[in-house]
Chains A and B, each alone.
Chain A
Amino acid sequence: MNNALADLLLKNQKEILEQWMKNQLSNNTLREDLMSNENLRRQSQELLDLFLKAVKKGNYDDLNTREYEGIIEMLQGISISRAQQGYSPKETAIFVFSLKEALINTIVKADGDSKEAVNSILIINNLLDQLGIITFETFIRGRESVILRQTQEINEISTPVIRVWEGILALPIIGTLDSARTQIVMENLLQEIVNTGSSIAILDISGVPAVDSLVAQHLIKTVSATRLMGAECIISGIRAEIAQTIVHLGIDLSNIQTKASLASALKLAFAMLQLEVKKGERKIIK
């Protein structure tokens, strides 16, 4: 019976395409501004060919087989290229779903409302739904990969090491300090210590929203690594509420130099390097 369905569809291929095109052209989500009707027709023709090729052997439910490789690949391609052209995922899905109507019409015309027809319609319905979902999945996967790439980019951009003075580096940390982030911060800092021969590094955590024990542990690790390189580390930007929270948590930061603001940390760094900042006498130039 299933093969009969495939034969029926194959026989009426032309009619189905016409009907499908008609459905698409009459739908108000049609985007003539983005794709010409000839192109749309070519795309539809190709998809229908692949669809009929896939169902030829009577497999209507398992999409993980070889027969479906071609059509799935094409759907993914369509989804991506349409997304780039500016189609919404809804419009792409409607493109696939509108084929359903054409197929079902053909079945009804041939078999009427017999039991077989109902069965065939259910089968076609399920299959087309699955194919439509593929376009959605591809669209979302594309978006997700963009988000992931951006996250990585943000991580790398947002950890600059600034040379504030000869021998003094500052590192403003903004955002949540997780393991991956700490790794990047530490690498950048240690590399910059080598490059500049600096002996003092200031880690400013004003931009870190919450300091819990994991963040503290990461900070302690960074400080230890800096010390191993022969440089001293000062942590600045500890707000009043964070100081109290750290005490309640029971984190011991007593063997790390800490300051409330970047300015006082810089002052301490100057003192450690025996530098003095003085207000100069103003010379009046005539």
Chain B
Amino acid sequence: MIALNREIIEIAKELDVVFFRQRLKEHAVKIGMSVLNQTKLITASSELVRNMLKYAGGGQICIEVINEKMQIGIKVTFEDKGPGIPDIHKAMQDGFSTGKSLGLGLPGAKRLVNEFDIKSEIGKGTIVTIVRWKNGL
């Protein structure tokens, strides 16, 4: 995998989310991603960044344009130093929420992207990585 372009954005307050979404959109437009895939990527990222703000109070996001096996795509890594997720299996189920929301954030985001990886350690934080290919389904 080759990373072509890299940008790191710090998230600390609600206004940062808007900025992050704009930057992400710019990257997606630059590689010529279709509007549908752009929307899917942005919505998935939006879910994850909201989780980050709500449960960990902020964190760091890394946007990368990557190239692998003749296809180009965008990889976004969300890293926070929050409380961590006790039961990832449960958190990935539809309708499960500890915070009075719809409980669709994590499972919904997974359905919207091509690759989804989540690692969490109690008391240390959570890292979520998503990849959306330019021409992926």
Identify the A interface with B (CB < 8 A): 151, 176, 178, 209-214, 216-217, 240-242, 244-245, 248-251
- A248 CB contact (under 8 Å) in B46, B105, B108: B108
Identify the B interface with A (CB < 8 A): 14-15, 17-18, 21, 35-36, 38-40, 42-43, 46-47, 50, 94, 101-102, 104-105, 107-109, 111-112
Residues of chain A contacted by B18 (CB below 8 angstroms): 176
- Distance in angstroms between the alpha carbons of A250 and B108 in the assembled complex: 6
A122 CB to closest chain B CB (Å) equals 34
Inter-chain contact A211/B14, CB cutoff 8 Å: no
Inter-chain contact A212/B43, CB cutoff 8 Å: yes
- Distance in angstroms between the alpha carbons of A206 and B18 in the assembled complex: 17
Contact A241/B36 with A248-B112, A249-B111, A251-B108 known, Cβ cut-off 8 Å: yes
Inter-chain contact A241/B35, CB cutoff 8 Å: yes
Residues of chain B contacted by A211 (CB below 8 angstroms): 43
Inter-chain contact B46/A212, CB cutoff 8 Å: yes
- B107 CB contact (under 8 Å) in A178, A216, A244, A250: A250
Contact A249/B101 with A212-B50, A213-B108 known, Cβ cut-off 8 Å: no
Residues of chain B contacted by A251 (CB below 8 angstroms): 102, 104, 108
- Distance in angstroms between the alpha carbons of A216 and B102 in the assembled complex: 9
Would you mind naming 16 contact pairs between A and B with Cβ atoms under 8 Å apart? A178-B14, A209-B21, A209-B42, A210-B43, A212-B46, A212-B105, A213-B105, A214-B47, A216-B102, A240-B36, A241-B38, A248-B40, A248-B111, A249-B108, A249-B109, A249-B111
- Distance in angstroms between the alpha carbons of A172 and B48 in the assembled complex: 27
Inter-chain contact B50/A249, CB cutoff 8 Å: no
Inter-chain contact A250/B94, CB cutoff 8 Å: yes
- A249 CB contact (under 8 Å) in B17, B38, B104: B104
